Each structure stands twice: as C-alpha cells, then as structure tokens.
Chains A and B, each alone.
Chain A
Amino acid sequence: MTVEEQYELNIGPQHPSTHGVFRIKVAMNGETIEDLDMIVGYLHRSMEKLSEERTFTQNIPFTDRADYLAAMSNNLGYCLAIEKLANVIPPQRATVLRVIFAELQRIASHAMANGTLVSDAGAWQTPLLYMFREREKILDLFEMTCGARLTTNYMRIGGVAFEPPDEFYPLLNELLGELPDKVDEYMDLLSTNEIFIARTKEVGIISPEDAINASLSGPALRGSGVPWDLRKAEPYCDYENYSFDVPVGNTGDSYDRFMVRMFEVKESIKIIKQALNELPSGMHKTQIPLALRPEPGQVYYRTEGPRGELGYFVISDGGPAPYRMHIRAPSLINLSLLKQLAVGSSLPDAVVTLGSIDIVVGEIDR
C-alpha cells in the first residue's frame, strides 16, 4: 500500500544553497517537487525609491549594493546610463579602465558562481575555495585601486574615481599570466568529474525558445545556445574594438551554463590583455557639476553584467535627482523559469538548477 501525501517544505530564507535570504516554498511528494512558490523581498531596501531623493552622483553607491558580487559592473551600467542622459563623454583612458575593471569583476563573479554551483552539487567547498584564490587576487587589485573590495563605488559619471596605483599593473599582469592555467586546472578538475557531470548534465534544461520568451539573459540564455551578448550586439565602452568570442552551450542544462561561465572567464582574460595594451594616457575622469542636472528625458541603457542584461531605466525631469530610476535586474528575471524547471524534478536537481542560474539576492530584491 502506498500513501501519497503532499507536504510543504520551506527552503530558506536561511538555507545553505539559496545564496542569501531567498525562500522557496515547495510542495513535495516524496522526493519530487510538485509545486513551487518563490518568496523574495527579505533584502528589499527600496533602492528605486531612495534614489529619487538623492542626486545622480549619490546614487552610485546604491548600485554596488544591488548586485554585491558584481559591484563594478553595476556601477558601470549606471554611470553609462547617466552619461547618456546628460551627454557626458568620458575620456578615452577612463573607458579602457572601465573595461578592465568590469571584466575583472566578471571573472570574480563567475568564479563565485561556479564555485557555489559545485558546492550545491555537494562538493565540500573545495572548488569554492580554489576559485576564491583567484577572486581574492582580483579583490586585492580592487582594494589597492579604490579602497574597497566588495562595494567598490569606483565608477563615476564621466570617468572613474581613481587612477590605479603603480603597483597595480605588474600585479595584474602576473594575475593574467597565471589565470588561464588556473582556469584549465578547474576545467580538468570539474568538467570531467563523473559525479559532477552526473549531477549537472541534463538537469534543468532550458530550451532556447523558452529562454528567449522568459527574458533570460547572460549565461543562462547563452547556456541554451542563443548567441546573444550585449557587448557584441550593442557595444558600449568601445567593446567593438576588442576581439573576443561569445561561448554558447549545447543543450541548455546546468552543465552548459557552468561551462559557458568557464569559457567566458577565458574570453575576459583576452579582453583585459587587449585593453592593457591599448591603455591610452590622459585624464581618468572629466569634471562634471556635483549636482548634475541632465535635460528632461528618459534613457534605457543596458550593459552585459556577469548575470545578464543589466538595464538602467532613468527618467530625468531636469532636477538634480532622477525622477524615476528602475534597475532591470537579471537575477530576478532569470528566475522566471524556476517554477517550470523545478516542478517534477527532485530536490537535489532543483538546488543545482538554482545554483546554475546564479542569483544574487541583493539584486533580486534591490
């Protein structure tokens, strides 16, 4: 005799694999998930409302706190949006420095994402700490440049805040020299590990049609094989001048998203090397008024953040503060398919799927 009874399980808000205060209420039958409801908002800090009361420059630190694992990329997206709104043109050196820091941030973020994914698959944090080794060096570079490791607040409207110190370049070159070997090491360790393959292969498959329809972006979209990268499609910061490839996945499963991130790290290394070669001399920022008052108008500016399409929708009414600022958060929108993916699968698969989508709760809740 079998008795089938649905029971409810709260995954989170505090759970090792929700990567923050994120809660999923699942209805389970045995080990199978039959219904899923995600509950977010535990980290809601009402950034969009707060930013309406602060000047354009004062809003930059908020963007650090949105996606706290990719502060540089978020700074960059916001500053580019406001520059477009206010017709500020940053100096050439600032643009190249921005590319360097955004790509370094991408490497650090992807290292974190992949490390936690393997931890979710059950490895006892060894891969996570290995990847932290490289991330730590990148954060050291951030620290010596702008004094902060996590919430950098480095980009400014019209440039970057500080010139990197002289010690920065030799250390960066050293890091770039060893990074490809390290990435290969991780690939050897993980991408052919039987257990890791068994856990991630054909788990959480997203078809390209669904991925596009559900507004997925970033590695989650490219993992499904859709070759869409805003750095190529809508180049900002002169990305059209750098030669790099856009890796895409095959089947759209968790393993492909993992591999896409691994390959993107390699492409980012290429971009940083080219940027370092072309780094022009000159000013690192232009002077803008402290209380910047852009012309009335609106802008929707998108950049390719580590988690996907990071858009800033800003409306100015001519005052010193934005009339409305909206952050198009890739972490939140990438979760659109979570229910569809998890229902019918088992709890371990759902955890791996969530890990491979790579969410940052600060960005989901804002």
Chain B
Amino acid sequence: MSFFNQVFKGPQLAYYFKKISIAVFIFIVIVAGYFFSQLFFDLSKFSQFIFDFVLQRSNYNFAYFTSSIIGALGIISFVGLVLLVGSWVERRVIAKFQIRVGPNRVGPFGLLQPIADAIKLMQKEVLVPAIADKTLFLIPPVAIFLPAILAWGPIPWAPNMSYLNINVGILYVFAVSSLTVPIIFFAGWSSMNHYALLGSMRTVAMMVSYEIPISLSLLSVAIITGTLNFSEIVLWQSTNSIWLGLFMPFSLFTFFFASTAEINRTPNDIAEAESEIVAGYHIEYSGMKAGLFMAVELGNAVLLGALVTSLFLNGWFLFGIEKFVPPYIIFIGKTVAIYLLLIWLRATFPRFRLDQLMNFAWKTLIPVSIINFFVIAIEVTILNQFQSTGILIYIFALFNIFLFLGLIVVWSKIFSVDKFQPEKIQPKFAGEIGGLEAMKGVKSVD
C-alpha cells in the first residue's frame, strides 16, 4: 500500500478508466440480460418443443425418456455450476467478512479458483487407512451425492418448470434427505478413526433429534396449504398474498435452524467441528474424496436455500417483478440470498456444544413447535370457515409473530437459558495486590 502511495500520488487515470469500464460492462450486461430474459422467459416452451420434435419421429415413451434425460441433465449441470461458483462465492464473501481479499489469482477475480482446486484435489493420492473397511470406506463419498442431487427434483423453479411435479414433494425431499444419515455413518464407522466415529455419532444423534422439529414445521406448512406439492404451495402463497415465512415465523425459524444442524453448517457444525474433532466423519478421506464431501455440503446449503424459498418465501413471485424478469431468476436470487445468510452465519458465530444443541432441540424447539403447530391448526380451522382469507390472514400473521416472540421469552424464562447477564460479569479491578486475603479488597467496576 505504502509503495503505491509513494509512486502515485492519489488515484490516476488508469484507476478511473477501470471504474468506468466496469460501469460500462455492467450496463451492457443489463441490456443484454434483458433481451435474453425475454427470449428465455419460459423455458417450458423449449422442453415442449423438444418433446414434440421427438414425438413426431418416434413413440411417446422415447419422447418422454428423452425429455426427462434432458431435464435431469439440466438439474445436474445446475448443481455442478452451484458447486463451482458457490465455493468461490463462499470464500470471497467470507474473506470480505474477515477483512481479507480471498482467492483472486486464478482467472478474473479468482473465478477459476474452484476449477484449480478441483484439479489439485483430483491429482492427490486417495489414501485408504490400512485398518479401514475398504469397501465401505470407498462408497460414501460417491453415495452421498445421491440424496444431494435427488432432492433437487421437486424444486419449483418457475410455473411449469419443476422436474418432479409430484403430489408428495415435501415427503419426497424429507425421505431422500434422510438417506444422508446412514451414508455419513458408514463414512465415519469404516474409517476406523476415533475422530471419525465421534463425528458420525454426533451426526446421527443430531439428525435424529432435528428431524422432529423439521417435520413439525413442514406439517404446519402442509395443513395450511392443504398440499404437499411444492408448486401448489408457492401458488397458495401467491393467491393468499402472504409469504408463509411471515405467516408462521416460528416454522421458518425452526426449519432454517434445524436444517443448518442437518447440513452441518455453523453454528451447528458439531459433526465436523474443526477445533474439536478436526474434520469429523471425513477426517480420513483425502484428495477428491474429501472434496466430494465438501462439495456436497456446499450443495446442501444451496438446496436449503431453495427449499426455504419455495416453502416460506413465495418461490418465484416477487411483488409483480416476476412479470418482467424470468421467474426462475427470481427463484435463484432468493436461493442465493438464503445461501448468503448461511455464509454470514458461518462467518459470525461460534459453535454450540453437542449437549447444548440437544437441549435446544428437545427442550425448546420440539415443545414450541408443537404449540406452534396447534395454534396454526386452530387458525386454519377458522380460516376454512370463510370463502376468502382476506384481512383475517394478516391478523393471524401478526398474532403469530407476537406469539413467536412471546414463546421465545417464556421459554428462556422457564429453562433459564440466559442464566447470567453480561453486564454483571464485567471483570473487577484489584484494590491491592496480594493473594487470597487481598481478594476480599477487590472492588467492582462502576
């Protein structure tokens, strides 16, 4: 820094040129983006076109097969793109939080860093511990990709744009994501490492505990919308002009917090707590196998963003903007916002302890979720008496927000979560120097 200040006294022409060129670049991107968005506003047109095109030349089954393969490729390539760009975003954003620069060497703004990382990881030797169960050890890094990609199926990107538009969408996602538990347990168990065992045991304990609040919060969503289909849940929020996250903030909170425990993100990343059990269940994996675990974690974080968006944040709707911007762009934007929130949490918070997390799940989240569920059930019964929900739903939303705050206060009083007030804990200043006797003369700070 000082070197540049000495050579150039203040910003020079090149500096302004850079700024102006960036502004021009952004302008061009916006204009081009507008035209492209009009062209690709409804992607279902293209899939319909392909379907018809193949149908004319062969039978129905083949056409169905072809279009579903193309759709699957679309989702997989999106997930792959997320894994590449997401790791760059995460590192750059966390670097901003930590007053660093982050990766900026490989490619423009360091954008090619994930590719360089992947190449490096692939070149590395995959070590298999001598005493490990070889077969079981090699399966999990591959198998863990299954739930991570399958769960993207029923996500509603836009109207008419959902790969698996099934009636049991929520149930499907819930079931598929549970597959992670045995895979992680296999990884930890087969490594024959105590750290890995601790990590996998923690994971199992946490998943068992936190799936209950998750299911309770999803149940609230199901009873108010009357469906398990993701697209219909999004449409319900639109017809009733309210985001479910506003209507039942506690369900949103429960779902979000419990999901961070499920996907091992700070502040609940105890399954791979770096400062305690180093890397948890994937401590013995090296090279690309470790990379796959990390990639899946990142993918799961984005998946959580997509789920929260469709369940609680009204999916592809955004105050009428969806008429001008392609809906799937809005959907991805909301997903990225949730992902950035996760990064923010990761950059800010320390980690809970295992017993604290368990206490929180069983003593706070589950009972309060049950209360919340009953309140919502009563509200749904009342709402069903009327033809249109109208103003009543906003009144209930307001009530739920206050209930959310009130329950938190009441529960923290009951279980005395905050046993102490930080202002009472200020260190005192020594009056006189000495040992145990002088301790009596210590005066407290004013």
Contacts and interface: CB of A to CB of B under 8 A. Distances in A.
Interface of A: 7-9, 15-17, 28, 31, 118-126, 129-130, 133, 191-199, 201, 208-209, 212, 222, 225-229, 232-233, 245-250, 255-256, 259-260, 263, 346-349, 351
Nearest to A231: B433
Interface in B331-380: 346-356
A199 B435 CA distance: 29
Contacts of B276: 17, 122, 347-348, 351
A346 B354 contact: yes
B416 to A, nearest CB: 12
A129 B426 contact: no
A78 to B, nearest CB: 24
A31 B427 contact: no
Contacts of A191: 422
Given A248-B439, A255-B425, 4 more contacts: A123-B349, A249-B428, A250-B427, A348-B354
Contacts of B426: 259
A170 to B, nearest CB: 13
Interface stretch (B57-65, B146-154, B267-275, B296-304): B267-275
Contacts of A129: 98-100
B273 A122 contact: yes
11 contacts: A9-B198, A118-B350, A121-B275, A122-B351, A197-B420, A199-B350, A201-B425, A232-B430, A255-B425, A346-B354, A351-B276
Nearest to A234: B433
B438 interface: yes
A209 B355 CA distance: 30
Interface in B80-138: 94, 97-100
B435 A124 contact: no
A229 B433 contact: yes
B436 A212 contact: yes
Contacts of B442: 225, 227, 248
Given A7-B194, A126-B98, A348 B353 contact: yes
B266 interface: yes
Contacts of B430: 222, 227, 229, 232, 245-248
Contact of A195 (B94, B194, B273, B350): B350
Contacts of B274: 16, 122
Nearest to A197: B422
A233 B99 contact: no
B348 A348 contact: no
B352 A133 contact: no
Interface of B: 94, 97-100, 194-195, 198, 266-267, 269-270, 273-278, 346-356, 418-420, 422, 425-436, 438-439, 441-442
A232 B351 contact: no
A150 B17 CA distance: 40
B354 A201 contact: no
B320 to A, nearest CB: 38
A8 B428 CA distance: 41
A123 B94 CA distance: 12
Contacts of A229: 430, 433
Contacts of A17: 275-276
Given A245-B429, A248-B430, A201 B438 contact: no
A124 B266 contact: yes
B433 A233 contact: yes
B433 A227 contact: yes
B275 A193 contact: no
Contacts of B425: 201, 250, 255-256, 259
A31 B420 contact: no
Contacts of B428: 225, 247-250
Nearest to B269: A122
Contacts of A226: 435-436, 438-439
Contacts of B275: 16-17, 119-122, 351
A199 B194 contact: no
Contact of B346 (A124, A249, A256): A124
Nearest to A121: B350
A259 B355 CA distance: 25
A192 B194 contact: no
A120 B355 CA distance: 17
B196 to A, nearest CB: 11
B185 to A, nearest CB: 16
A227 B438 contact: yes
Contacts of B349: 122-123, 193, 195
Contacts of A212: 435-436
A119 B276 CA distance: 11
Contact of B99 (A118, A130, A199): A130
Nearest to B354: A31
A162 B427 CA distance: 37
A9 B356 CA distance: 23
Given A17-B275, A212-B435, A133 B353 contact: no
Contacts of B438: 226-227
A345 to B, nearest CB: 10
A191 B442 CA distance: 22
A124 B439 contact: no
Given A122-B351, A123-B349, A125-B98, A347 B277 contact: yes
A250 B354 CA distance: 26
Contacts of B419: 201
Nearest to A195: B350
Contact of A247 (B355, B429, B435, B439): B429
Contacts of A28: 194
Given A247-B427, A260-B427, A195 B433 contact: no
A126 B347 contact: yes
A255 B432 CA distance: 23
A65 to B, nearest CB: 26
Nearest to B418: A194
A17 B433 CA distance: 33
A196 B432 contact: no
Nearest to B426: A259
A165 to B, nearest CB: 14
A346 B418 contact: no
B211 to A, nearest CB: 21
B434 A228 contact: yes
A40 B266 CA distance: 32
Given A122-B267, A248-B429, A351-B276, A227 B98 contact: no
A259 B430 CA distance: 14
A193 B350 contact: yes
B350 A31 contact: no
B418 A124 contact: no
Nearest to B429: A245
Contacts of B97: 126
Given A227-B442, A248-B429, A123 B351 contact: yes
